[in-house]
Amino acid sequence: MSSEVFVIVLLVAVGHAAWNALLRIEPDKHGMMRVMFATQIAAALAVLPFVTLPDPAALPYLITSAAIGTGAMFLLSHAYKLGDLSQVYPLSRGSAPLIVVLVSTVLLGESITPQALAGIALIALGVISLSFAGNIRSLPNMPLIAVALANGALSALCNLLDGYGARVSGSTIGYVATLGLTLSLMVVFTTQFTSRGKSAAIAARTIWLGALAGLMSLIAAGTAIWAMTRAPIPLVSALRETSIIFAAAIGIFIFREKLTIRRLVSIALVLLGVIALRLDG
Each domain of the chain, given as residue ranges in start order, spans: 3-280
CB atoms < 10 A from the CB of 210, how many? 26
Mean pLDDT, the chain, rounded, equals 87
Cα–Cα distance, 122 to 130 (Å, whole number):
13
pLDDT in tens, 134-184: 655 555 567 777 887 888 899 999 999 999 999 999 999 999 999 999 999
Whole-number pLDDT of residue 247: 82
Task: Assign 3-state DSSP to the chain and report helix, strand, coil percentages, each to 5.
Answer: 85, 0, 15
Q: DSSP state, 67? A: H
pLDDT at 26 over 80: yes
- Its pTM stands at 0.89
Q: Which long-range CB contacts under 8 A does 136-144 form with residues at least 24 apart?
A: 138/84, 138/87, 139/87, 140/83, 140/84, 140/87, 140/88, 140/91, 141/82, 141/83, 143/82, 143/83, 144/79, 144/82, 144/83, 144/84, 144/87, 144/88, 144/91
Cα–Cα distance, 205 to 156 (Å, whole number):
34
Residue, of 100 and 82, whose pLDDT is higher: 100
Question: How large is the angle between the packed helices 29-47 and 172-195, nearest 10 degrees?
Answer: 140
* C-alpha gyration radius of the chain: 18
Do 130 and 243 contact (CB within 8 A), yes or no?
no
Mean pLDDT of 227-241: 93
Angle, vertex CA 122, rays to CA 117 and CA 126, nearest 5: 150
pLDDT at 248 over 70: yes
CB atoms < 10 A from the CB of 4, how many? 11
Mean pLDDT of 74-83: 67
Whole-number pLDDT of residue 147: 81
Mean pLDDT of 15-36: 85
Whole-number pLDDT of residue 215: 95
Q: DSSP state, 200? A: -
Conformation bin of residue 83: beta by default, left when phi > 0, alpha when psi is -120 to 50: left
Task: Kindly state the percentage of the chain with pLDDT values over 70.
Answer: 90
Most confident range (mean pLDDT) of 1-5, 59-63, 87-91 is 59-63
When pLDDT is cut at 50, 70 and 90, the band that residue 109 belongs to is: confident
Cα–Cα distance, 41 to 280 (Å, whole number):
38
pLDDT at 129 over 90: no
Whole-number pLDDT of residue 156: 93
Cα–Cα distance, 146 to 153 (Å, whole number):
11
DSSP reduced 3-state for 198: coil
